[in-house]
Amino acid sequence: MRDADARLVERARAGEASAFEELVRRHLRAAYAVALAVLREPADAEDVCQDAFLTALERLEECRRPDRFAAWLLQIVRNRALNLRRAQTVRWALPLQDVVGVAGRHDTGHQAERSELRDRLLAAMEDLSEPQREALLLHDLEGWRHREVAAHLGVPESTARAYLFQARRRLRARLGAELMEEG
């Protein structure tokens, strides 16, 4: 993927709009996951992603290593998200339909179950540290490898693995405790 990204960056630098559109398609989900991990507000995460992609397009010449475009972009996303978080008042409510996706509209029972599960998962994720949330979302949702998560977070691979392990353990403990209280 790195070589393909490098070729797309070069084509985008040459003015080919479709090349940058492909970079957006390739990296939008990961960018959103990083922004959501920092902000915990889907609408703000979307805004940050849009802003970060515009910044990346405007500053494409500053990407010194086109083969590492994803890491460069995600650092822009993370910085924008941190800046927004510092600038705004705290508002952590998450519109459920924006986070995981809306269930089929015709199956209201299934939709209610998914909404409840989403609610619990998002509430449990609130207890995670920011690096734990990023590691969890990038690895489990986006399918990144441990070394890629580590590079993004700027930590050794063993630390990224530890973040993921801790995040999963905390989620299991919290969600399991909730299930035990219901039963």
pLDDT of residue 138: 87
Distance CA 56, CA 30 (A): 15
pLDDT of residue 148: 87
**Domain membership flag for residue 100:** no
**Domain membership flag for residue 17:** yes
Same domain, 62 and 125: no
Containing structural domain, residue 149: 107-183
Residues 6+ away with beta carbon under 8 Å from 66: 5, 6, 9, 10
pLDDT digits (tens, 9 = 90+) for 62-90: 999 999 999 999 999 999 999 888 876 54
Contact 175, 124 (CB under 8 A): yes
Contact 30, 39 (CB under 8 A): no
Contact 73, 107 (CB under 8 A): no
Work out how many domains the chain is built from and give that number. Answer: 2
pLDDT of residue 19: 93
Query: Which pTM does this prediction carry?
Result: 0.61
Same domain, 87 and 113: no
Same domain, 5 and 36: yes
Closest of 39, 47, 52, 27 to residue 122, by C-alpha: 39
Same domain, 55 and 82: yes
Q: Percent of the chain at pLDDT above 90? A: 42
**Domain membership flag for residue 102:** no
Q: How confident is the model at residue 25 (pLDDT cuts 50, 70, 90)?
A: very high
Contact 51, 39 (CB under 8 A): no
**Domain membership flag for residue 52:** yes
